[in-house]
A and B are shown apart, each in its own frame.
Chain A
Amino acid sequence: MTTRTHPLLILFTVLVYIFLAGPLIIVFGASVSDTTYLTFPPQGLSLRWFENIFEISAFRRTIVTSLELAFLATGLALLIGIPAAYALNRYRIQLPTWLSTVFVLPILVPEIVFGFSLLKSVAVGASAPIFLALLIGHTLIVLPYCVRVISASLASFDFSVEEAAISLGSPPVKTFFTIVLPNVRSGVIAAFILAFITSINDVSTSLFLTGPGVSTLPIQILAHVEQFFDPTIASVSVLLMLLTIMVMAIVERTLGLTFLAK
């Protein structure tokens, strides 16, 4: 597209980006304020609200739970998602077309309905431990990302390379790990990152799946905001934003930031 852009349109775009960045900058400012209430611009400069996060045991506990959950759910989703993505591409002709629709279902069903249904059927119905129910929920909501991103990588992989290796005597399983997987490395990394971020930030699925002593960080944040309105939440938010920056830096290192632009 080579036509020139109208100046009013450029002004509008600038305003949209200010609207997008503004609230996050305010959160950052409020988190370092030396006051007991939320304010911006910050008055005084202090990191005590960051220390306060770790003094509240509910935050310490839920940060650990959320990290465990994100790593385990992502790992499990990759474990069952990679073979599924491989099958969907390699055996496309043998498998029915509805099968790929099945892997979209976790996105299609409202997350809050899914979380409530897991509470009814798995946590109460099968009296599974809350953490297990959370793990099942998180694994399923991140699964579509794993299958779709890795499928997209596999779509451009030339399976005749794999056949050549096998016909030269390499065992199929070994061929998968030495020939196929390294070729879709970037897809696996992208899937891992997307899945991890989705799990860490999830609210709707986890909402119903909290019990005595078990909760996730976003749910704890919601509970805390309703009782206290102090800068602690701003500090936790900044921690989560730092995590996002870290993730983007990892993407930049491994795949190049242009990857995000796709």
Chain B
Amino acid sequence: MKKRYAGWILASPATIAIGLFLILPVAATIASTFGDEKGLLAPYYAFFNSGFRRGVLWRTLEISLATTAISLVVGFLTAYVVAKSPGRLKSILIIAAVFPLLTGVVVRSFAFLILLGKNGILNNFLVGVGITDQPFSMLYTQGAVIAAMVYLFVPLMILTLVGVLENIPEDVVQASASLGASPAATFRQVIFPLAVPGLIVGAVLVFTGSFTSYATPQLVGGERQMVMGTLMYQRAMVSFDWVGASTIAAIMVVITISVVLAMSRIARRLNPMAT
């Protein structure tokens, strides 16, 4: 009877599409970096021997780690307040976080661009208040890229963590309080440990998102703050160095997937409710 294969038949169009148009092309991109006549790992030697490219990798890691750390703190504190808000206010706060998330990356990066520019709003304000005499360019600095990335990822972090905090059973928190723990102790010893797996999920989302981003560093950081994404684009579309671009792509894939796998293992081990 065909019933035995019904599941496979129904799942096959999507599975084949992913195999044919995602797995194969990405595998081909990675494979193309190992076919160099100068040696198996020649493109990787070229990448890591170039001080400039090493610097780009380092800068990208710095920016993504800083973005992740700041987003974690800001997102967690905000999510804590949102999760505790009464019903109607809570849904307004959640919608206010969903709106930027549904508004695209380009629009939000552009918004940050006009905030920071030389004739930007922030500069006009600083001059107007008298903090500085003349406008200075805040654009194209590492700080600007980090600020823009935090702006980009905080809504995602808030929404992820509100979901996690709301899933913490009410009676666990009440039990802690009725056994005499102060609110601060309850937060430190009950709520925070239970939120750790969610914090890890949020951190992975933000890290991989910022590590592989293109539009924000391109608009706010420009040539001066080149990151892996913008370097890859430049290699491929300006220098037509496809092997070089593929090498950057392979490094990005390896780092992203290792971070995801390592962190999901840690999250599973740290989950106090799992055992």
Contacts and interface: CB of A to CB of B under 8 A. Distances in A.
18 contacts: A2-B174, A13-B81, A13-B82, A16-B154, A23-B108, A24-B108, A27-B107, A40-B121, A83-B10, A84-B13, A95-B8, A108-B256, A112-B232, A114-B25, A117-B25, A200-B104, A201-B107, A260-B98
A173 to B, nearest CB: 11
Interface of B: 4, 6-11, 13-15, 17-19, 21-26, 28-29, 32, 74, 77-78, 80-84, 90-91, 93-100, 102-108, 110-115, 117, 119, 121, 151, 154-155, 163, 165, 168, 170, 173-174, 177, 183, 186-187, 191, 208, 211-215, 218-219, 229, 232-233, 236-237, 242, 245-246, 249, 252-253, 256-257, 260
A109 interface: yes
Given A9-B80, A95-B8, A117-B26, 15 more contacts: A16-B77, A20-B97, A23-B114, A24-B100, A27-B107, A38-B119, A90-B7, A91-B6, A91-B7, A111-B212, A117-B249, A218-B104, A222-B215, A225-B110, A240-B104
A43 to B, nearest CB: 12
A208 B236 contact: yes
Nearest to B251: A113
A96 B117 CA distance: 53
Report the interface size class on chain A: 35 or more
Contacts of B108: 23-24
Contacts of B229: 112, 204
Contacts of B26: 109, 113-114, 117
Interface of A: 1-5, 9-10, 12-13, 16-17, 19-24, 26-27, 30, 37-40, 79-81, 83-84, 86-88, 90-91, 94-95, 99, 102-103, 105-106, 108-114, 116-122, 125, 136-137, 139-140, 143, 147, 197, 200-201, 203-204, 207-208, 218, 221-222, 225, 229, 233-234, 237, 240-241, 244-245, 247-248, 257-258, 260-262
A225 to B, nearest CB: 6
A116 B107 contact: no
A1 B84 contact: yes
Given A197-B102, A218-B104, A225-B110, A1 B173 contact: yes
A241 B106 CA distance: 11
A23 B152 CA distance: 11
